[in-house]
Each structure stands twice: as structure tokens, then as C-alpha cells.
Structure 1
Amino acid sequence: MAMKNSPYWEVAPLNRELTLKLAEDLGLPPLLIHLLLTRGLNDPHEIYRHLNPKLSDFPDPFLLEDMEKAVNRLVKAIYNREKITIYGDYDVDGTTGAAILYLFLKELGLEPLVIFPHRERDGYGLHPHLIASLKERGISLLISVDCGISAHEACRVARENGLEVIITDHHEVPEEISEALAVINPKRKGNRYPFRELAGVGVAFALLRALRQRLYEEGFFGQNPPKLKNYLDLVALGTIADIVPLTGENRLIAWFGLRELKESERPGLKALKKLAGLENGLVDTNSVMFRLAPRINAAGRLKEAELAFKLFVTTDETEAKTLAEELHQLNAKRQQIEDRILKEALAKIEKDLGPDRLAYVLSGEDWPLGIIGIVASRLQEALYRPVILLTLKDGLARGSGRSIPEINLYQCLSDCRQYLKAFGGHPAAAGLKILEENISAFARKFEEIIKAKLDGKIPRPRLKLDAWVRVRHILEPSFLENFIRLEPFGPGYPEPLFGLKNFEVRNISLVKEKHLKLFVWQEGLGLPAIAFRFGNSIPKGIKAIAGNLEISAFQGRNYLQLRIKDLV
């Protein structure tokens, strides 16, 4: 198997003077201030707001381009009791976004129709054939969630059928956007909105905030307006699952939403958390990304996204348990298929391509479209190269790509557009369509572009340490008390990574023949540490460890440990 180079460690620079000044001014441990500085927070007021978030910190949603138009049209639809369709994407982001719009409009007395494209039959996006028949069902307004920014043909068909369209999306904005009544996307030029990295569900939530504000000003609710805080469990779920930066407004969503998610009374979420082993434990970004999101995404990957949507909106506990169990089983099936595709992809690399390519484009005829994105992620992580996987059918290939921080995948695909039928996405992840006959030429051009951007050198991953520390530094009560306030961590706001050296290793062992456990002992203090999926041998002479500090739950008790990222 081709493997990436071992990472080299970098240590964040220390601004000692500023660190000590802010620590004194704010009454916080210097190490905590250093962690905040390395994440771009250097203003005392900004740091205070970061550590003490409030719901009132959410920006004015009317600063988003076209929000006024969208709200005016929705208010009209609500007063006239019009029939509305919500069209969501098939992933966690799209299904949670569709769910919050549905539930809010239902609170107002409407009964929206909710539809999703099928990943295999339709593919990503707002499709004309799915909206052409809506007029016959009495629909007058369509709202997209997490898609539609470049759906020119779908918007044309909607207009021809007398439907008005409100687009809510967060993907990269092309030169020409859809001709809709309103296009709400924080990445649009001309936006005065202070945050552009919302997930699709975050954009939908901004629409709800604006709509609620307008209806409240008009006296629509009387004394009992809907509490939007109650929707933050679903907003956080979709936001974290979509791997957007957990900074700015996304941090507010995650901060408040994870608390709502832990205590959520939605029968579907309760049932799913139980199956995922989170019924009474901590619900954090990792448990969302690695336990809840895969089960929810299994619906759109292997069956129908509507299963996930129903799980979010049902009030029936029996139905919730049935839906959660089906998602749980679909996820187990997904894991089996994923492992098969991964083995086949690695075999293709070893047999046909070799370990020295700077990018990999691989294709297969029986690789489900809903699975190849995950496999591309695993290959990108293992190889530390941009990877694109394609599934072939009837002369057409559809695929998914994942990239490394050094390479903007969306831009690279744009540079190869002459070979592609369609593409879209982000710097780190993208989807594409291509004729089978063009794959070889595309692969050559793609690697040529990557080679130029990397100067022909095989990239080497970097492990960025926040600081070298002593065990006593991180066991200091005042540090631990405030360290918890830094959460939640995620993309764009990474978990602090500490380096330790000059310690004694005690009680080292392998658990289940693959997890390395040990105690780091230094100056009379011990800290348990674990390296998951380390291997089947115990290393000798460990000189340094890089790891994340975490609070883990076991048998109803919380304990502190170091999660080892690398060791030498």
C-alpha cells in the first residue's frame, strides 16, 4: 500500500509579551491565552465573547443579499395559506435544513411538501424533472436548501410552471447564479453579512430568524412566538456534519446546538443517540461527525434521504425507533461496501499507478456513488494526495474528490473544465460528472495541474503543535476549568495539540491488539494516554508524544486523557 510520508512537527510561535498581558487583563492562564492567539483571537473583547457566547451574538439576517425579497414572499405565502415545497439535498446538511423549515412553517399552520433528489438516479442539485409537476399539485413557491446556486434550467422550468423560487445555498458562487426570486448565499458578492462560511442548514436558519423577526414585528404570533433556540439541535447537527469551519456564527450554532442536541426531546434523535451509544454520554463534535452523521447519511447514500428527514420530524416514538434502526442497519451495510471499495482502489494504485503519483483518479463500475466520497476521504488521509473516485455507468462517470490543504480542489477542477460535463463543491471536496471516454485525458491534466502546484514534490503532512508543555501545565485546575470553555472544536478551529517530552512511560500495553495505552509520568504527576488503531506492537524508547487533551466518559464517570496523534 502506498503511504504518505510521516508528518513533521511544527510548533506555533509564542508571543510571550502579548500572552502575559492578556492573561493578566482577563484573569486567564497564559497557556489558554496562547491557544486562543494561535487561533487568531487577540482582542480582549473578542476573547471574552468567544468564551462567553450569547444568542444575541447572531448577526442580523437581513444583511444577507435577497433576504428582504425572500421574507416578503414568505410572509405573503403564510397569510394566503399557499402551498410550499421545500427541496433539500440528500446529506445531513440538506435534510436538517429541510426539517427546520418544515417544522417552523408547520408551527405557523402550513403543511409544506418536502422532496429530495435521489443520489443515484438524480445526483446532486435542483433538478427540473422533480419540479415540473409541482404546479399540478397546487404548489406556488419552492424553497431550496443546500443546493440551487447554479440551477439555471430548474429555475427556468419553475418559472414556466408558475412557481417562484427561493434559493438557500452555501456552495461556491459561479459567475452566473440562478435566476430566482431570491438567492440567499453568504458567499455572494455584495453581501454585508459578516460571516460567509455557513452550512446549508445555517443559511436556512438565517432565513427562519429573519422570517420570525418580521412576523413578530407584524404581531403575527401574539404573546407566544416560536423559540428558534429549539431548532439549534438540528442546525448544529447539520453544521458539524458538513465540516464547515467552527468559527464565527458556526461556533455559536455548535455551542448552543450541542447543548440542545444532548437534551433534545425529538424522538428520532433520542432513538438514534441510543443506537450510537450516546444516550447518556457526552455529545460533542466528534460524536456528531463519527457516530450520528454516518448513520444519518446512510439514508441518502444507500436508500432515500426522506428516511433521515422523517427521523427528524416524527413525534411518534415507535416510528422513531424503527427509522433509527433502519439507519443503523444501512450504516453497517455502508461500512461493508466502503471497505470493499477501499481494498479495490488500493489494489488499482499498487498495480497500475504506483505510490509516487501526486494525485489519483480511480474508477470502478460497481462503486455506489453514495459511498465513494467516504472512500476518497480515507484514501486522501492515508496517501496525503488529492484523490478522485468515479463510478461508471452507461458511458458516464460521476464522482467525488477530496483534497489536501495545499490544493484547492474546486479550482483544479475549474482548470480542467474542458473535460467535465459538470462539477461543483469546495476547496477540500467536490463532485463531478465526466464522459467515460474523457477520463484518461482528465486524469493526465489533473495530475499535471497538481504537479505544478506542488513543484513536483510529494507532499508531506504537517503536525502543528500548539506548544510543548509539562504534565503539570495541563493538570493545573485553573487551566482545565477554562479549557472546557474553548470547546467545541472542529474544522478551522482545531483541538489544541500538545507536545510532551522528557517523561517516563509507565504501564504501557496493547488493548484489543490494536490500541496503545500508557501513562505519561513526569515530576510526580501521571496522565493516561491512548493511541487508537496504533498497530500490533509495543514501541520502545518513546521520546516525545503529540496529543489532544480530552475528557472521556466511562461507566458514568468523566476522566482526563491524552489522545495520541503521533509519537517518536
Structure 2
Amino acid sequence: MIPAPRIRRREVPAHGPWPGHVPPVLQRIYAARGVTSPEQAELRLARLLAPELLGGIDRAAELLMAAIRENRHIVVAGDFDCDGATGTAVAVRGLRLLGARRVSFRVPHRIEHGYGLSPALVEAIAPTAPDLLLTVDSGIACLAGVAAAKARGWQVLVTDHHLPGPRLPAADAIVNPNLEGDAFPSKALAGVGVVFYLLLATRRCMREAGLFAGGEPDLSALLDLVAVGTVADLVPLDYNNRLLVSAGLKRLRQGQCQPGLRALAEVSQRRLDRLTASDIGFALAPRINAAGRLEDMGLGIECLLSDDPARARHLAEVLDGINAERKGLQQQMVDEADALVARWPAPDGALPPVLSLFDAGWHPGVVGLVASRLKDRLHRPVVAFAPADEGSDLLRGSARSIPGLHIRDALAAVDARHPGLIGKFGGHAMAAGLSLPRTGLDAFRSALEAQVRASLDEALLLREIASDGPLAGDEFGRELAEALRLAGPWGQGFPEPVFDNDFELLDFRVLGERHLKLTVLAEGRREPLQAIHFGGWTGTPPPGRLRLAYQLELDDFRGRRDIQLLVRHLEPVA
């Protein structure tokens, strides 16, 4: 049995003074996230960390500058998730802006090539005869692939943000803020952020060499893509990442974006002028990701690279269709995973601190979403496995973790104690990927459970909902909802505001057999409020007095200008 979550109100340190136009609610929200003055909330791109602080970037920039100046063929080797796709698009567009005339890209197919720069991908790239191979969002763990590329005489430049293993690839240059000893202050850059920084450094290098007779290119035109990839990869939105995302969102809202992103917003029925980080995470990114999960991420990258609005719209519609297929498959797999959990062989009904789940019919491109969904619901690390290919004895797994357990380090510890059990693995604190033979699943499950029991404080398995406290009766309004929507960008490490209040239930109805639509009345308020609780119907009517943890949202459905509460948790009031 999983205990019900409890609501914990965030501590609010001393803060201020703030300008009068900043609502007191927003002031306390910022303070609870470490932003205690207007200066810390100001997001000006001029405050971006300097590229020269990033280790290895000077050598990498010199390699790129030489390749551009000498008209060498540069091949960008991307990755099959949204961070890798946007990073590939940033690299290709950015290199062309810097004057490169021979630039192409290749992204691995999840089933045909496996993850990252594998020897199989190098073999597939070989007919294009690259002079320099630039990896994006991968490469730090691709020792065999880099060696295969070097054996063909190619220069290899690795840009990545994933944690390195005990050995580094034998590349000509590596740019990764998470290398041991790298002094770059922000370790949270996504893959797309790393390659954007490399382009900035290359531009500086070319400027100093006097190569811009006709004026420097404006690389800020790529920030819309940087924002999408950064939000999609769920990296912590530290100040530097918030600068990047805020600048990219500004371009998107002003319509100064790539045709592909405009088309993706249109097919997902999101207004560009009101786009938020949440819209990226729940609408744009899943449609890009769907290509890599079920088809070929080349479709997603082509959409992001297209300058023809009609072509971009066509590709966005294709991606939308693939995403619809993905959602159906995901729901089926989540239902099957729920059934596995319900049958878990625990005599006392208690689940272990980590779950490793497998079904022979699951799709390897969707297991990460299954692991994420169950991790959120069960509040414990989850690893979901599927056959690497139909009928294959090799399993591919995706792991998702909770705060307090570094999942990549846990896998490294299992690998050290049981050499040969895991085939390949990589990732970071909250997410990782791995492969292992099907015959090793039971041994892996036992080894990982033992490692997690030894390293994870059981108290961390008790789910908490962090709240920014209650709203007063007169604070439920569009003015505050608008201010909250635009005050972020909110995301990983800088969470969207959640409030909690006691309410009187006036009415409810069930929507779509799974969801609850509530009409509630808050203390100190005369007008009722509408609330929606997705997945909230349990078969039992909600209590007459209830406490809700919720987000304050705009409700503009069918032209109405109202607000609604997006319920994150519901419990009776004693």
C-alpha cells in the first residue's frame, strides 16, 4: 500500500522590498525558491554565464572554426529525444549562420543503432564522408563509437551534459559542464544549452580571427530552440537556464521563432503569444519526442530545420499523429504496469523501495514515460524494461528517480558490485537508461533493490506536496493567474506555484469516467470556483468539506475569461 501524500507548506525566508506592482503572493513564491530581491528575479540575457568559463570550449571552438574556414564536411550526430533534436537543429542552423557550407546531420534510430554515437551509427554515417563529427546530447559514454569514428580518420568533437563514466572517449575535444574538475558554475545545462554555448564561443573565436567582414551572425535567433530543449529535458531551471528559457519564450511569444515551432504550437492548439514553459513541456516537446519514440527522430529535426511554413506545418501534423499513437500506446502500457504492481508479491502489501518492471509486449521507446508515470504515482524509483527489438533477448530500460536517490550513481554501484550484469548505462540524477540480457533481469532487480535500500532514506518514500500556502478569498482572480503564468519560467528545480485551502463542496460530476469536475467555495469568498481533478475519480463521491492542493489557472475555454483550480491533491477536512 502507498500512503497518501501530505501537504507541506514551503518555508518563506525574509524578502523585499519589492516594487508595488509585484503581488505579495508572488513575492512569497519567489522567496520560497531562493529569489529574495527584484534583482534576482530580473532575467536579462546580459547576465548569462560567459562561454569561456566552460572547460574545453576554446579547443572545441578552434576545431569548428578551422572546419568552417576550410570548408570541411561537418556531420552533427544528435540524439532521439527532444533535447537531442533541438540541439541538432541549433547546431545545424548555428553552423550555417557562422558560414559553414557543408553541414548535415544524422540521428540514431532507437532500435537500429541504439543510443548515442554507436559503432552502428558510425557505419551508417560513413558514406557521407565527414571530416568532423560533432555529437550533441551524447558522446560522453560512447567510447566504442568515438573510437570507430577516429579509426576512419574523422575528427570528433563531443558536446554532452550527461555524467561521465570512469573513462572518457578519445575525442579531439570534449565540452561537458559535468566533467570532473570543470569549473563552469551551472552544471544543469541541457545538451542543447551546451552546443549553444559552443556556437557562442566559436563566434567569438571567429571574431578575434577577423572572419566576419560582413557583420556577425545573431545567434539569439536560436534561443527558441534552446528554450524548448531545456524545458523538455527536465534539467533544473537554475538562474542560467532560466535566462535561456526566458529569452527563448520571449522570442516565441513575439512570433520570432522557427516555422516548425510555430506549426507545432498550432497543431497542439497553443497560442504563441501566451506560450509558457508548461506549454512546451506538455504540448510541443511530446510531439517532437514522439518521433524518436515510435518512428525516426529525423522527422522531428526536419520539422525544426524547415524554413518553408507549409512544409513545417505538414511535418508538424505528421508528428501530431505519431504523438496521438504514442498516447494510446502509453496508456495501454501504464495500465499493464499498474496491473503488475497490483500483483506484486509482497506478503504485507508493501512495495519495495524501487520497482523494476518488464513486459514482453512493451515498446522500448515508451518505457521511460511508463517509468515516469509510475514514479510520480508511487513516489519511488521505477525502472521499466522492454525488449530492445521484437523477439530480442536484450532488454532496454529507462529509470526515473525521486529526490534523494541519484539513479545513475545507483546503477554505477550495481555495475561495480556485479560486473557484466548491466550491458551499458548512462544518465543523471533523476533519469537514466540501461541495457541488460533478459536472463539477468531477476538478478538486476535484486541487486538494485539492495543498493537502494542501503542508500535511500525510507522517509523520502513518503510523498509530500510542497505548497505555497493558502490564497485569501480576494486573491482568486485573473490578475493573479495572469501574473503567475508569466512570472516563471517554472519547471524542474523552480516549481510552478501550488496552493492549498479548505473548501466547501457545492457540486461535482465525473468527466470521461476518470476525472472530477468540482464546484467549490473558499472561505472568505462568496462566488463559487470551478476545479478540475484529472484522474481524480475513485468511485467514491468527494467529501463535503475538503482540502485541495491546486494551481491557479486561466480558463479561456470557448472564449470565456475565467479561472479554475487545477487540483493536484484532494483530502477530507477533519
Partner of residue 400, structure 1 = 398
Q: Indicate which of 141, 149, 165 corresponds to 2:140.
A: 149
Q: Sort the Cα spacing of 1:497 and 1:346 in 2 relative to 1 into closer, same or farther, 3 A.
A: closer
What runs of 5+ residues in structure 1 fail to find an aligned partner?
A: none
CA deviation map 1:394-431 (0-9, x unaligned): 33211111122232211221121122111111221111
* 1:269 has 2:273 as partner: no
Answer 1 or 2: higher relative contact order, Cα 8 Å, separation at least 6.
Answer: 1
**3-state secondary structure, aligned to 2:343:** helix
Partners of 1:86 and 1:115 within 8 A in 2: yes
Report what 2:433 is aligned to.
431
1:320 to 306, 312, 318: 312
- Match status 1:38 vs 2:38: no
Cα 1:150–1:265, aligned 2, differ >3 Å: closer, same or farther?
closer
3-state DSSP class of the match of 2:131? strand
2:445 is aligned to 443
Structure 2 length normalisation: TM-score? 0.90
Q: Does 1:82 align with 2:72?
A: yes
Aligned counterparts of 2:160 and 2:521: Cα–Cα separation in 1? 47
Confirm or deny: 8 A CA contact 1:89 1:116 kept in the other structure. Answer: yes
Aligned residue number for residue 110 of structure 2:
119
Identity across the alignment (%): 32
Q: Secondary structure at the match of 1:139?
A: coil
Q: Post-superposition shift, 1:309?
A: 0.6
Assess, with a 3 A threshold, how the Cα gap between structure 1 residues 555 and 211 changes in structure 2: closer, same or farther: farther
Aligned length: 556
CA RMSD in angstroms comes to 2.5
Counterpart secondary structure, 2:366: helix
User: Are positions 1:566 and 2:547 aligned together?
Assistant: no
Candidates 395, 407, 410, aligned match of 2:408: 410
Q: 1:350-403: per-residue Cα shift (whole Å, max 9, x none)? A: 335355222221222232110111111112222222211112343321111112
Provide Cα deviations, 1:65-95, integer angstroms capped at 9, x if missing partner. 1100011111111111111110000111001
**Aligned residue runs from structure 1 range 329-340, under 5 A:** 329-340=321-332
Match of residue 72 from structure 1: 62
Secondary structure of the equivalent of 2:156? Answer: strand
For 1:54 and 1:106, the matched residues in 2 are separated by 27
Partners of 1:439 and 1:25 in 2: how far apart? 58
- Show the 5 A alignment for 1:106-255: 106-107=96-97, 108-132=99-123, 137-255=128-246
- Equivalent of 2:365 in 357, 360, 370: 370
Task: Letter of the 1:402 partner, please give it.
Answer: R
- Using the TM superposition, give the Cα deviation of residue 485 of structure 1 relative to its aligned residue in structure 2, in angstroms: 5.2
**Change beyond 3 A, Cα 1:511–1:281:** farther
In 2: Cα distance, 1:566 partner to 1:285 partner? 22
Cα 1:92/1:133, change in 2 over 3 Å:
closer
Distance in 1, matches of 2:19 and 2:281, equals: 36
AA paired with 1:356?
A: A
Distance 1:101 1:157 in 2: 22
TM superposition shift of 1:26: 8.1
8 Å CA contact 1:516, 1:538 repeated in 2: no
Equivalences for residues 382-397 of structure 1 within 5 A: 382-392=377-387, 393-397=391-395
Alpha-carbon distance in 1 for matches of 2:125, 2:108? 14
Q: Answer whether contact 1:140 1:163 (CA < 8 A) is retained.
A: yes
**Where do 1:20-59 residues align within 5 Å?**
22-23=16-17, 28-42=22-36, 44=37, 47-50=38-41, 52-59=42-49
- Could you report, residue by residue, the CA deviation over 1:304-337 in whole angstroms, capped at 9, with x for unpaired residues? 1100010011122332232122211111221222
Q: CA deviation at 1:136?
A: 5.5
Contact 1:311 1:324 (8 Å CA) reproduced: yes
For the residue of structure 1 that corresponds to 2:519, the secondary structure is strand
**Preserved CA contact (<8 Å) 1:451 1:457:** no
Amino acid at match of 2:441: I
| 1:540 and 2:543 are equivalent in the alignment | yes
Query: Could you report, residue by residue, the CA deviation over 1:219-241 in whole angstroms, capped at 9, with x for unpaired residues?
Result: 43335422222111111111111
Gaps in structure 2 of 5+ consecutive residues: none
Aligned with residue 285 of structure 2, among 293, 310, 317:
293
- Distance in 1, matches of 2:325 and 2:197, equals 36
Of 297, 302, 306, which residue of structure 2 is paired with 1:305?
297
Judge which range, 368-377 or 382-391, deviates more: 382-391
Deviates more, 1:304-313 or 1:505-514: 505-514
Distance 1:84 1:476, change over 3 A: closer
**Residue 540 of structure 1: CA displacement?**
2.8
C-alpha separation in 2, matches of 1:283 and 1:4: 36
Alignment of 1:446-525 (within 5 A): 446-454=448-456, 459-473=461-475, 475=477, 483-484=484-485, 486-501=487-502, 503-506=503-506, 508-512=508-512, 514-524=515-525
Contact conserved, 1:65 with 1:191, CA < 8 A, in 2? yes
For residues 564 and 124 of structure 2, the distance between their equivalents in structure 1, rounded to whole angstroms, comes to: 57
Change in CA separation of 1:347 and 1:547 when aligned onto 2, cut-off 3 Å: closer
Change in 2 beyond 3 A, CA 1:236/1:252: same
Q: Which amino acid aligns with 2:173?
A: A
Supply the AA of the counterpart residue of 1:390: F
Residues in 1 aligned to 2:222 and 2:317: alpha-carbon distance in whole angstroms: 23
Q: Deviation digits for residues 432-464 of structure 1, max 9, x if unmatched?
A: 111222111111121122233456679221011
